[in-house]
Amino acid sequence: MLSYRHAFHAGNHADILKHLVLCATLQYALRKEAALFFLDTHAGAGRYSLRSEQALQTGEASAGILRLDLAGLLAATTGEEHDLLAGYAAAVQPWLARRQYPGSPLLAAGLLRRQDHLHLCELHPTDVELLAGHLQGDRRCSVEQADGYQRALALLPPVQKRAVVLIDPSYERKDDYRKVVRLIADLQQRMRAAQLLLWYPVVERLDVESLLTGLQRSGVRDLWQFELGVAPDRGGHGLTASGMLVVNPPFTLPGALRSLLPRLQEQLAPAYGHWKVRQLIGE
Check residue 235 and give left, alpha or beta (phi > 0: left; psi -120 to 50: alpha). Answer: left
Q: Among candidates 176, 232, 224, which has minimal Cα distance to 197?
A: 224
* Whole-number Å distance between alpha carbons of 146 and 163: 19
Q: Determine contact, residues 136/152, Cβ cutoff 8 Å.
A: no
Using CA atoms, how far residue 124 sits from 80, 102, 109, 127, in Å, is 37, 18, 20, 5
Determine the 3-state secondary structure of 172 from DSSP.
Answer: coil
Using CA atoms, how far residue 101 sits from 11, 12, 64, 121, in Å, is 6, 10, 11, 19
Peptide bond into 102 cis (omega under 30): no
Point out the catalytic residue in the list 40, 116, 168, 176: 168
Our answer to whether residue 168 is catalytic in this structure is yes
The amino acid sitting at 25 is: T
b vs e for 228-255, b when ≥16 Cβ sit within 10 Å of the residue's Cβ?
bbbbebeeeeebbbbbbbbbbbbeebbe
Task: Return the bridge partners of 279, or none.
Answer: 224
Task: Return the bridge partners of 195, or none.
Answer: 164
* Whole-number Å distance between alpha carbons of 248 and 25: 10
169 φ, ψ (degrees, to nearest 5): -75, 170
By annotation, the residues acting in catalysis are: 168
